[in-house]
Chain A
Amino acid sequence: MTSRFRSKEFWTPAMITGGGLLMALILIAIIAPSTMKQAAEQLTPHAALGPSAEHWLGTDDFGRDLLARALVATRLTLLMTAGAAAISVVSGVVIGLAIWLSGRRVREIALRILETAVAYPSLIFALVIAAVLEPGVSSAVIAIGIAGIPGFARITANLASAVSSSDYVVTARLLGVSPVRIAARHMLPNMAEPLLILSATVFALSLVEISALSFIGLGVQSPEYDFGRLLNDSLGALYTQPVEAVGPSVMIALTGLSVMLIGDALAAHADPRAKRSFFRRVLDRNRTVPLAESDTALVRVKNLRVSIPGRQELVKGVSFSINPGEVVALVGESGSGKSLTAMAVAGLPSEDLAVDADLLRVGDMNMLAAPDQSRLAKEISIVYQDPGTTFNPSLRMGSQLTEVLRTHLGMGRAEAREVIVNALASVNITQPAHRLRQHPHELSGGMRQRAMIAASIVTSPKLIVADEPTTALDVTVQAEVLRQFRRIHREQGTAMLFISHDLAVVEALCDTILVMKSGEIVERLTAAELAARKVTHSYTKALLAAIPTLELGSAPATSGAPTS
């Protein structure tokens, strides 16, 4: 916690502005009442004056200095707000945790009630309480504090439920740690940060609502005054002396803003995604590259480098080529740079990365420039790792799988569907026409991946880039998907760049195997060399040794072997 305050990233402009404002307001709250009380509360004959050097914001009907009144009111407003926010947060956390700790039945009923309560406008809820109690400082604090409890209790219950399903809480429960101890040891510490951020929001809301109560005359009563009360006073004189509204308005806005900015900054700090920075790539101007007659390769990569700008090089000068019809594998462990290399070849690198190379071409398309989108879509197809997330959940399979055909090949809806139905049938998907009417979640993972493969072949691409296409699949499904890749290669002669961490998988499918480690290609092997275990680099040897292989002694009886 302490090291965070020293870190540069923590002190963003929002944090500095918000923190500075809040400090200033707290100082005013401490100092103003003792030094300006006289000017703020003494009745003088200088009534209803406009702004002047002596009274910057003028005076009210009783001749009191309006600026002084606004500043003095800061103490009462901040104290009331802090009190109400504390009631909401503390009771909310206690109730939220209690709900989580109670049994399933009680929990469900309690959550239902909370849900109803949250839906109810909290200000009206506060009005009910204010209507029951006598108007005044303490009843305003209690009313707003109580009105904020359901919201915070619900947040706590939701956070608790998210944290409680994490493995470490489950394990602690299995060890027999009592629920109260789990809450204290495991849950609260891990919920503290989001709860703190949300407390800032609660403070801002309490401020608005307490002031609202006073503003409509149900909160602080004369002669006491807070920002809302002052604003209410100004309402009567709005036509004659509109400047009277300025003081309390600005003070409320500044207080709210300071807390909002702090909350925003804390939230941004907790979210790693917010820290990403965009890198504007300098694109090569030539969309195509001239091809030497001797250069028959489909893909040529020379000295490819991918880096986080200004920080770290992730791919360090990789060179290779793919001949038409060749199946090339990039193999390595996580962090080896194999996927980054593949996505650079496919022209889809992540936007915060810098890509550079002496040459990076697919056919005559210069992948360091912005090649023609239609050509890219037709000539390079991509199959991704996780079929569970690669499809848009809200569109039917049919309209997604036919996108490229309709957008880039100019086919009509009916024609594109017919092409896709045939392609789906060719990858052994049953009832293909029916599948097109389904949403992605209605298909199994293996089926979705085969559908992706079907969509990738309908444009007769020159290159298929497959990024760990079988990693998320079961072994039996993996075998089926690999068979589809093999069949496509045999029937259409499509070149492939196949990314995998599994040497056994690529051994069966690929012609050439490139082993990557820490952003470099450390060894190039032919399928025959790999099969014969003729490897030279120590990393490849280690990798081969690490892969557990199935040892069956004698082959199993083939009579019962599946034929699928």
Chain B
Amino acid sequence: MTSSIVVEASRTPGVGAGSAGGRFIRHPWVGFVLRRLGGLVLSFVVLTVVTFLIVPLIPGDPAVIAAGDGASPAQVASVRAELGLDLPVLTQFVNYVSGVLRLDMGNSFVSGESVSTLIFTRFPFTAEIALLAIVLVLLLSVPLGMIVAILTRGGRNKWLDNIFNFLTSLIYSVPQYVVATLLVVVFAVTLRWFPAAGATTLSSLVLPTAALMLGPVCVISRIVRRETAVVLNKDYIRTARGWRLGALRTNLRYVLPNLVTTTLTLSGLILAAQLGGAVVIETVFAWPGLGQGIVNAILQRDYPVIRGIILILGLLATLIITMVDLILAIIDPRNLGGTSSDV
């Protein structure tokens, strides 16, 4: 849901991040891999610190919450000792970090289940709809954006321009959970085509994926359209016209390759932001993924689970962005130089 703001952030060149330190590295891939690894490590450190801070920062006593309602002071004290909450903050932090590194993030206050197990059972459900949505979004929005840009180039077909702008604004300004609710009302409640909730059959995938997709399709097709319009104004498109290459050849060889970098970069950021969307969507469809998990955990003040899921979602977002960078570097080695956001 951060999409638009992220888009604008990436439009302008970065302030030269990524140039530092490059002068000592000979092979471009060495620098690239080092920078990316550095980014991953930094994200991990920041995420670990932030998730650790959740517990010391909460108002009230975490031990009281963990012990549950109506626990006696003695019970609270024993819970406090058991969870290590009586130790100095720094020791708690060290314990937390070493736990994270051993994939041990403690047990749920509510169910007593290990947080790692909980994440492992919930993760596939989120990955399923998120991956499906990513693939479909790219397959739909890239051709759509390109076609609209080509048809409206140089001020042609103003009506299409207006309709495209209006429809994408409209759909994009309807939040995903509203889309989800409406989809349920129409397709599950009224038409009874698909199940409204749960993850029982293959058809239960349809509505959550659709709800997750619509917004990103609009944003990304708008980006593709704008980037295409920029490329169509380049001198080398005039060169191709001067060589009278025909529309198809010009668009496939001279337009499309020059869209890839920006489109993929921004899509990566937007799709990472979709993990946030998944949180809400899963609530609507009672989808047993990480999103539903974190919402339940927050409502029940189940801090170990909150910590675990926030950590894993953050790592996923970072991974998606790193993957996009890697793909871009393979497609076009000129991208080895800067960071993904220096488009």
Whether B172 pairs with A260 at a CB distance below 8 angstroms is yes
* Chain A positions within 8 Å of B172 at CB level: 256, 260
Produce 1/0 per residue, B268-299, CB < 8 A to A.
Answer: 01001111110110011000000000110011
- For B45, the closest partner residue in chain A by CB is A116
Provide the bound-state CA to CA distance between A256 and B54, in Å.
32
Contact of B236 among A124, A128, A248, A391 (CB under 8 A): A391
Whether A120 pairs with B254 at a CB distance below 8 angstroms is no
- For B258, the closest partner residue in chain A by CB is A394
* Chain A positions within 8 Å of B143 at CB level: none
For residue B177, CB closer than 8 A to chain A, the reply is yes
Contact of B239 among A107, A215, A390 (CB under 8 A): A390
For residue B74, CB closer than 8 A to chain A, the reply is no
Whether B310 pairs with A121 at a CB distance below 8 angstroms is no
Q: Quick one: given A201-B5, A245-B181, are A118 and B276 in contact (CB under 8 Å)?
A: no
- For A255, the closest partner residue in chain B by CB is B173
Provide the bound-state CA to CA distance between A111 and B342, in Å.
12
Contact of B46 among A113, A239, A403 (CB under 8 A): A113
Interface size bucket, B side?
35 or more
Produce 1/0 per residue, B10-23, CB < 8 A to A.
Answer: 01111111001000
- For A122, the closest partner residue in chain B by CB is B2
Whether A202 pairs with B5 at a CB distance below 8 angstroms is yes
For residue B101, CB closer than 8 A to chain A, the reply is no
Whether A394 pairs with B162 at a CB distance below 8 angstroms is no
- For B184, the closest partner residue in chain A by CB is A238
- Min CB distance B148 to A, Å, is 14
Q: Is the interface of B mostly helix, strand, loop or mixed?
A: helix
Whether A155 pairs with B9 at a CB distance below 8 angstroms is yes
For residue A252, CB closer than 8 A to chain B, the reply is yes
- Min CB distance B205 to A, Å, is 20
Within 8 A of A (CB), among B314-332: 314, 317-318, 321, 332
Whether A161 pairs with B317 at a CB distance below 8 angstroms is no
* Chain A positions within 8 Å of B73 at CB level: none
Whether B46 pairs with A198 at a CB distance below 8 angstroms is no
* Chain A positions within 8 Å of B244 at CB level: 373-374, 376-377, 404, 407-408
Interface size bucket, A side?
35 or more
- For A408, the closest partner residue in chain B by CB is B244
- Min CB distance A60 to B, Å, is 16
For residue A412, CB closer than 8 A to chain B, the reply is no
Contact of A256 among B173, B190, B313 (CB under 8 A): B173
Whether B280 pairs with A123 at a CB distance below 8 angstroms is yes
* Chain B positions within 8 Å of A242 at CB level: 185, 189-190
Provide the bound-state CA to CA distance between A338 and B203, in Å.
64
- For A148, the closest partner residue in chain B by CB is B5
Contact of B155 among A108, A276, A390 (CB under 8 A): A276
For residue B242, CB closer than 8 A to chain A, the reply is yes
Whether B173 pairs with A119 at a CB distance below 8 angstroms is no
9-residue interface stretch from A51-59, A178-186, A344-352, A556-564: A344-352
Whether A157 pairs with B15 at a CB distance below 8 angstroms is yes
Provide the bound-state CA to CA distance between A217 and B242, in Å.
60
Q: Quick one: given A115-B341, A132-B57, A394-B258, are A124 and B275 in contact (CB under 8 Å)?
A: yes
Whether A215 pairs with B174 at a CB distance below 8 angstroms is no
- For A164, the closest partner residue in chain B by CB is B15
- Min CB distance B261 to A, Å, is 9
* Chain A positions within 8 Å of B260 at CB level: 394
Whether A389 pairs with B234 at a CB distance below 8 angstroms is yes
* Chain B positions within 8 Å of A112 at CB level: 17, 39, 42
9-residue interface stretch from B24-32, B102-110, B111-119, B245-253: B245-253
Provide the bound-state CA to CA distance between A278 and B1, in Å.
35
Within 8 A of A (CB), among B200-259: 229, 233-236, 238-246, 249, 253-254, 257-258
For residue A208, CB closer than 8 A to chain B, the reply is yes
Produce 1/0 per residue, A252-268, CB < 8 A to B.
Answer: 11011101110010000
Within 8 A of A (CB), among B133-157: 153-157
Q: Is the interface of A mostly helix, strand, loop or mixed?
A: helix
- For A115, the closest partner residue in chain B by CB is B341
- Min CB distance B153 to A, Å, is 8
For residue B59, CB closer than 8 A to chain A, the reply is yes
For residue B81, CB closer than 8 A to chain A, the reply is no
Whether B339 pairs with A238 at a CB distance below 8 angstroms is no
* Chain A positions within 8 Å of B258 at CB level: 392-394
Whether B242 pairs with A348 at a CB distance below 8 angstroms is yes
Whether A158 pairs with B162 at a CB distance below 8 angstroms is no
- Min CB distance B31 to A, Å, is 15
Whether B12 pairs with A159 at a CB distance below 8 angstroms is yes
For residue A382, CB closer than 8 A to chain B, the reply is yes
Provide the bound-state CA to CA distance between A162 and B15, in Å.
8
Q: Quick one: given A124-B310, A242-B189, are A119 and B254 in contact (CB under 8 Å)?
A: no
Whether A211 pairs with B175 at a CB distance below 8 angstroms is yes
- Min CB distance A441 to B, Å, is 7
- Min CB distance A409 to B, Å, is 12
- For A452, the closest partner residue in chain B by CB is B239
Q: Quick one: given A118-B6, A211-B175, A253-B170, are A392 and B253 in contact (CB under 8 Å)?
A: yes
Q: 21 A-B Cβ contacts within 8 A?
A: A108-B20, A111-B17, A112-B42, A113-B42, A115-B17, A116-B42, A119-B43, A119-B317, A120-B318, A121-B313, A128-B310, A151-B5, A201-B8, A215-B280, A234-B181, A252-B175, A384-B235, A389-B234, A392-B236, A394-B260, A407-B246
> Given A128-B51, A128-B306, A348-B238, 4 other A-B contacts at CB below 8 A?
A107-B15, A276-B154, A384-B235, A439-B334
Residues of B within 8 A of A (CB): 1-2, 4-6, 8-9, 11-17, 20, 39, 42-43, 46, 50-51, 54, 57-59, 153-158, 162, 165-166, 169-170, 172-175, 177-178, 181-182, 184-185, 189-190, 196, 229, 233-236, 238-246, 249, 253-254, 257-258, 260, 269, 272-277, 279-280, 283-284, 294-295, 298-299, 301, 303, 306, 310, 313-314, 317-318, 321, 332, 334, 339, 341
8 closest Cβ pairs, A-B complex: A256-B173, A123-B276, A121-B276, A278-B155, A394-B257, A389-B235, A158-B12, A151-B5
